[in-house]
Amino acid sequence: MTYQYWNERMETLPHAELETYQLEQLKKILAVAMRTPFYQKRLSEAGINSADEIRSLADIRRVPFTTKHDLRDGFPYGFLSVPKDEVIRLHASSGTTGTPTTIYFNKEDIVRWTNFVARSIYATGCNKTDVFQNMITYGLFTGGLGFHFGGEAVGMLVIPSGPGNTTRQFKLMQDFGTTVVHATPSFLLHVEAKMREEGVTRGSLALKRAFAGAEPYSEDTRRRIEDLLCIDVYNSYGLSEMNGPGVAFECQAKDGLHIWEDGYIAEIVNPDTLEPVPDGEVGELVLTCLCREASPILRYRTRDLTGFYTEPCSCGRTHRRLRRITGRTDDMLIINGVNLFPSQIEEVIMSIKEVGNNYLIVVEKEGVLDRLTVKIEVRPNIFMDDTRPLNALKERIRRTLQSMITINPRVELHESGSLPVSEGKAKRVQDNRPKDV
Ligand code: ADP
Ligand code: ZN
């Protein structure tokens, strides 16, 4: 198997042919899955004893869902389909919502995965002349090595900087003429604030693009990063259960994320009824990995909320596009009975120009009621000693938030750079309410 960053035939295959290909691959991966202790049992319980019983793509609905809970139960080898000596790497999820889960790769799995990342990078307009600084955590987390291999497959010069230490990041960018970076959107905002603080001028950098993912962010946040750093920002979506990055990615049209349908089957279901939602509507993304043999995972409930854009993309790629992922079903906060996603708050505050680059949502119990506080950094040019305009700003943010989220929040304004910054995924919510037992 060889590395390939542009697969014209596959990326522009008419959708009907893509579906035929998916069906073939689905049967293959079902046969592979039947070799694992977990699916042997699960599939036979569902009455599927041979891959040939799946005759159309719609038959995938006969396959039971797999949840994060199942993966944890199967730890460490319940999902392994090949002899251990064929495995050449393992990765684990970052464990945002509990114990991490592990996945295994054989040699071909690594090449297939790398090719999806390489294809994604190339779709944003990068090529071998680019210098790529990968400012994301390496290690068990898939973002580091996944992008590293993908970048190399494109032929770019890859600088494995990892996150943190902005002074060193700027030095690397200047010394080697970095043209593209990969980071979480929150870290990119932090980089911009540090640039100003350390007096690094935009003119001293050759930066053109950034890949931003691993956590939800709003369209306003994207625009803010693009305007502040004068770059193009491309949304990158992936999860370790589905290899890692390179599951879905924005092309230069920046209008939804192409999900690579020759590697993944995507379904959108209603998270309560688990029935498919009407085309275009938002629901929970369910993914089947067609491109990994060592740890096959079928109909995985990602808990991520998104929907399909159904119209064709101007770039000519035929793989369907996902809407920006707004959050996970389990991110939802219930505040005095009202449902609220953190992304709704981000959407409101990031559109206010006096608001700075960082914020934190705190929920507490006050008597019997829940109390929502939004701590917001202001832009560095706003003087914290000037209480009159500051109070007016605070009141304006509070009123805008209240009208959008129907909850009356307390708003606190903080100096630029004073709220905690995370190098990996940002921790936007502090829920201090006592847990029900
Ligand atoms: P964990 O589930 O422990 O966070 P991962 O490190 O595999 O494990 O992270 C994958 C998750 O990160 C996705 O399921 C999704 O919730 C989130 N994510 C990744 N990329 C994006 C993105 N571009 N937009 C929104 N959420 C994202
Ligand atoms: Zn496109």
pLDDT in tens, 137-185: 999 999 999 999 999 999 999 999 999 899 999 999 999 999 999 999 9
Which of these, 205, 13, 11, 191, lies nearest to 119 by C-alpha position? 11
Distance from C-alpha of 248 to C-alpha of 260, rounded to nearest angstrom: 6
In the reported structure, the alpha carbon of residue 216 is separated from the centroid of ligand 1 by a whole-number distance in angstroms of: 8
Predicted confidence at residue 28, as pLDDT, reads: 98
Superfamily for domain range 338-431:
ANL, C-terminal domain (3.30.300.30)
Contacts of 102 (CB under 8 A, 6+ apart): 75, 76, 90, 91, 92
Backbone angles phi, psi at 362, to 5 degrees: -120, 130
Could you report the per-residue pLDDT of 6-33, keeping only the tens digit for each?
999 999 999 999 999 999 999 999 999 9
Whether the CB-CB separation of 128 and 257 falls below 8 Å is answered with no
Angle between helical axes of 342-349 and 219-229 (0-180°, round to 10) = 40
Ligand 1 within 6 A of 71 CB? no
Ligand 1 within 6 A of 239 CB? yes
Angle between helical axes of 185-197 and 166-176 (0-180°, round to 10) = 80
Which of these, 237, 215, 362, lies nearest to 287 by C-alpha position? 237
Has domain 8-329 been given CATH number 3.40.50.12780?
Answer: yes
The number of the ligand 1 atom at minimal distance from the alpha carbon of 425 is 4
Ligand 1 within 6 A of 344 CB? no
The structural domains of the chain, with segments of one domain joined by +, span 8-329, 338-431
Enter the DSSP assignment of 420: -
Predicted confidence at residue 437, as pLDDT, reads: 46
Residue 256 CA: distances (Å) to CA of 39, 219, 251: 33, 11, 8
Ligand 1 within 6 A of 216 CB? yes
- Give the closest ligand to the alpha carbon of residue 259: 2
Which residue's alpha carbon is nearest to atom 8 within ligand 1?
Answer: 93
In the reported structure, the alpha carbon of residue 340 is separated from the centroid of ligand 2 by a whole-number distance in angstroms of: 31
- Give the closest ligand to the alpha carbon of residue 251: 2
Helix (H) and strand (E) counts in the chain: 11, 20
> Quick one: what percent of the chain has pLDDT higher than 70?
98
pTM, to two decimals: 0.93
- Candidate from 102, 145, 182, 239 with most ligand 1 atoms within 8 A of CB, to mutate: 239
3-state secondary structure of 434: coil
